[in-house]
Structure 1
Amino acid sequence: MDRQHIGSAQPARLRVEVRTVDGRSELLIPVGELDHHTAELLRAPLDSALDAGRSRLVVDCSGLGFCDSTGLNVLLGARLRADAAGGGVHLVAMRPAVARVFHITGAEAVFTLHDTLGTALPG
């Protein structure tokens, strides 16, 4: 599901694959750069999953090469909504550049972190 920037002929630097895992969980696989220009491409499927009652969000970060404060805020907003609905946001396999943003800001403390999808997905 490649998307383009609104008003631009350039391809987006972020693709997000979405899979429903069970009636309550959604797996989101962002690939590329999560920043001010691409954050909406992740926010929209996060919001859609929450609106549909899937409050357990698993985000496979292994394909993210970059995340700025806007991307972090998208994930924090989803975490607040998921927590309020009795679920949560589980982040999987963060690369060092992305993990650093979470570590520096202290945001890693408010997410459930996993090394692999096997430990993050409901069994």
Structure 2
Amino acid sequence: MDRGTAGSAHRGRLLVEVRTEGVSEVVTPAGELDHHTADALSTPLDAALEQGRSRLVIDCSRLEFCDSTGLNVLLSARLKAEAAGGGVHLTGLRPVVARVLEITGAEAVFTVHPSLREALSG
């Protein structure tokens, strides 16, 4: 596994870890993704895309909450990644986050993987 870059950002109730593995940028938000913390996730996602990392794997296994603002961050990243020739891959969806995707129909526009290992190999 390539661990060429690593970092983290923390804003209030959300900690975001970022690392590079192969051709993927793995972004792991931990905590609550909402109006107050959305920038803590959107900033590293935008930075990855600006650096040419268009295959974004978002490991949601530590994400405890996601509201509509958080969902908009994910949808925006997906559009930007696809415009750059990549995509957003979600993994580790907890029931509360999976439910937000299901209710809104957003699950249909993301590639969802059952494990991080599968997200990185796919």
Instruction: Tell me the TM-score normalized by structure 1.
Output: 0.89
Tell me the alpha carbon deviations over residues 10-58 of structure 1, each in whole angstroms, 9 at most, x when there is no partner: xx10000000112x42000100000000000000000000000000000
**Paired position in structure 1 for 2:13:** 13
Alignment of 1:1-123 (within 5 A): 1=8, 3-4=10-11, 12-22=12-22, 24-122=23-121
Inter-partner Cα distance in structure 1 for 2:113 and 2:16: 19
Q: SS of the residue aligned with 1:74?
A: helix
Alignment-mate amino acid for residue 82 of structure 2? D
Bigger CA radius of gyration? 1
With over 3 angstroms needed to count, the CA separation of the structure-2 counterparts of 1:2 and 1:76, relative to structure 1, is closer
Alignment-mate amino acid for residue 27 of structure 2? L
Alignment-mate amino acid for residue 16 of structure 2? V
| Structure 1 residue 122, shift from structure 2 partner | 3.4
Alignment-mate amino acid for residue 68 of structure 1? D
**Unmatched tracts of structure 2, length 5 or more:** 1-7
Alignment-mate amino acid for residue 13 of structure 1? R
| Structure 1 residue 93, shift from structure 2 partner | 1.1
**Paired position in structure 2 for 1:8:** none
Could you say what the CA RMSD is over the residues aligned between the two structures, in angstroms?
A: 1.2
Inter-partner Cα distance in structure 2 for 1:99 and 1:105: 10
Give every structure 1 segment of 4 or more consecutive aligned residues whose post-TM-superposition deviation is greater than 6 Å: none
Task: Name the structure with the higher strand share.
Answer: 2
**Unmatched tracts of structure 1, length 5 or more:** 5-11
Inter-partner Cα distance in structure 1 for 2:10 and 2:88: 24
In the comparison of the two structures, how many residue pairs are matched? 115
Instruction: Tell me the TM-score normalized by structure 2.
Output: 0.90
| Structure 1 residue 112, shift from structure 2 partner | 0.2
